[in-house]
Structure 1
Amino acid sequence: MNNLNNKKIGLIAGSGQFPIIFSKIAVSKGFLVYAAAFINEAEETLKEEVEKIEWLHLGQVKRLVNFFKKNEIKEVVMLGAIKKTKMFSDVKPDMKAISLIMHMKSTHDDGLLSAFAGMLEKEGIIVKSSTFLLPDLLAQEGCWTKRKPTRSEKADINIGLHIAKEIGRLDIGQCVVVCGGSVLAVEAIDGTDATIRRGGKLGNGEAVIVKVCKPEQDTRFDMPAVGIQTISTMYESGVKALAVEANKAVVFDREDMIRLADKVGISIVAVSI
């Protein structure tokens, strides 16, 4: 499989389908993918899509760096989610990780990821944008579904866009659920699906969800993502419309996502802010 003409790319892999999608496309474009995959997060099947894989625990920073250096990796992407609740129970920090955290002013998501990326770059490993090979996954502006948002849903979306940007500015989360001008749920450590469920319980079948990029978001990592699972959770929770930020959200299974939304009467829009 290895070919001297192939360009190498490193992958730091969390959970979900993004690392697998990236690996397949990277290989189709002539890249050799070397994955550092987090145990209990990354999909086991990732190993079938990459040139080489190193399984490690959260916090094993030195081992991650050594893996990339050993394989002469100069550029990496960081893809996939890390369940934030596991950061308090499933971490094995080495001395390099402890040193990194001790020198940080904040351990919020953006601060932690930016510090981690900075450390990698000092080691000669450049972190590239998560979508540099996948521009087609970015949300395109407009209404994607047969049903357009109602007037009241549009009003709630506008409120949600403002509030979601504010919680993003505070590095709390990326999405909110709104109904009748009131914020029903704010994303926290439990993630987007849990936020939809919490808000849906209070929305009486009329709520909307808004998910945006944080104002100071580093698009190399942690871009907001939606997919068919988002629509399934919305339907189960009685949430009627989804708004994302155009060109600043990653969309998985777009056609299947729209098909399901049309079937159950959910509206999807991507708006520029």
Structure 2
Amino acid sequence: MVSDVEHPREEILADRAQNGRAEPLGIIAGGGALPRIVAQEAAKQGWVPVIVAVADGRASDWSPWPHLSIPWSHVGEGLSFLRASGVKKIAIGGTISVRPDFRSMVPSFRTLSLLPDIFRAMRGGDDTLLRACTTAVARRGFEFVAIHDIAPKLLMSEGTLTRRQPSQREELALVRGFLAARRLGELDVGQAAVASPDRVIALEGIEGTREMLERVRGLRARGRIGDKEPCVLVKTVKPQQDRRFDLPAIGPSTIAEAAAAGLRGIGVSAGGALIIEADRLLSAAEVEGLFVVGRALPPETGASA
């Protein structure tokens, strides 16, 4: 775990002086490959990535970039670090497996001023939480940018990415899955569902996609899902979602988890989802015999590209 600060502000300013295009980009990093991919793409474009690692992201080594690893109780220090580093724009991404419980924490002095905003944010679901947090951060002089604006190649395209195409029955499962995921998103509950042509098998709650698929795996092992019942995973952006944050994502691990649950394929919202480590993901899908498709959402969902 990295807990120290490296590359002080003077070095960042020196980098900017060397390259007229260079500007610090703050990245609030959770776990997984996504934050590092964004940092690498930002660096290629002339940004100087400045990392604040939280939650699952604290287990990563963020060298060689300027970085600070903090517990949730020190989020005030994270904003101060970004401000001292000359950051004006921030991107946020990565997995956060445990939602912070600020009411049971002992906050640092710099975090105290954020607590009223934090407590208001904690009242709702994930979308409500993100909107409230971004509003609070924006009031402190920062601007958020979308991950896919920095790394557009991560955005899911429309069509089938694998050689394996969905069958007619699997298409019906996709339709049911997208409808279920849409309803779920309208309630700000989750972004994913598992469905067959005839029924909805599972809905994602606060446990996340991985644990939902574990549940599906258990249902299949107990005979609650027929061996020949074609089931698919669907992940879609919420209709009301701010697309700068928390887009649904799939990666190589999603393929392994879907295959273990006995699924036939994965459908995600084209233009509204991220595909992480696409080459590895597609290779894994080919090995497991799964299809991966991106589908445009109908206009009535309220989601635009």
- Taking structure 2 as the reference length, the TM-score comes to 0.83
Residue identity in the other structure for 1:107: G
Structure 1 runs of 4+ off > 6 angstroms?
none
* Offset, 1:102: 3.7
Structure with greater proportional strand content: 1
In structure 2, the partner of 1:255 is 279
Q: What is the percent sequence identity of the aligned residues?
A: 26
Say whether residues 1:268 and 2:277 are aligned partners. Answer: no
* Offset, 1:91: 5.5
Which residues in structure 2 correspond to 1:124-143 (within 5 Å)?
Answer: 124-143=141-160
In structure 1, the partner of 2:176 is 159
1:198-239 Cα shifts (integer Å, max 9, x gaps): 124333453111100000111111010001111111111111
Residue identity in the other structure for 1:28: K
* Offset, 1:40: 4.4
Say whether residues 1:11 and 2:27 are aligned partners. Answer: yes
Distance 2:243 2:106 in 1: 27
Residue 57 of structure 1 contacts residue 92 of structure 1 at CA under 8 Å; is this kept in 2? no
Residue identity in the other structure for 1:256: R
Q: Which residues of structure 2 form unaligned runs of 5+? A: 1-10, 298-305
Which residues in structure 2 correspond to 1:40-51 (within 5 Å)?
Answer: 40-45=56-61, 47-50=62-65
Relative distance call for 1:219 and 1:92 in structure 2 (3 A) is farther
In structure 1, the partner of 2:5 is none
Distance 1:123 1:96 in 2: 11
Residue 57 of structure 1 contacts residue 91 of structure 1 at CA under 8 Å; is this kept in 2? no
Moved more, 96-105 or 15-24: 96-105
In structure 1, the partner of 2:67 is 53
Say whether residues 1:77 and 2:102 are aligned partners. Answer: no
1:250-271 Cα shifts (integer Å, max 9, x gaps): 0012122112212221111110
Residue identity in the other structure for 2:89: E
In structure 2, the partner of 1:114 is 131
Pick the structure with greater CA Rg.
2
Residue identity in the other structure for 2:128: G
In structure 1, the partner of 2:300 is none
Residue identity in the other structure for 2:97: K
Relative distance call for 1:208 and 1:48 in structure 2 (3 A) is same
* Offset, 1:150: 1.4
In structure 1, the partner of 2:112 is 95
Residue 139 of structure 1 contacts residue 246 of structure 1 at CA under 8 Å; is this kept in 2? yes
Say whether residues 1:183 and 2:218 are aligned partners. Answer: no
Q: Which residues of structure 1 form unaligned runs of 5+? A: none
Aligned length: 271
Residue 10 of structure 1 contacts residue 75 of structure 1 at CA under 8 Å; is this kept in 2? yes
Relative distance call for 1:216 and 1:59 in structure 2 (3 A) is farther
Distance 2:26 2:99 in 1: 26
SS in 1 for 2:69: strand
Relative distance call for 1:44 and 1:256 in structure 2 (3 A) is closer
SS in 1 for 2:118: helix
Residue 37 of structure 1 contacts residue 54 of structure 1 at CA under 8 Å; is this kept in 2? yes
* Offset, 1:41: 3.3
* Offset, 1:247: 1.0
Residue identity in the other structure for 2:258: M
SS in 1 for 2:147: coil
- Taking structure 1 as the reference length, the TM-score comes to 0.92
Relative distance call for 1:155 and 1:270 in structure 2 (3 A) is same
Distance 1:88 1:17 in 2: 26
Alignment root-mean-square deviation, CA: 2.1
Relative distance call for 1:88 and 1:119 in structure 2 (3 A) is closer
Residue identity in the other structure for 1:3: R
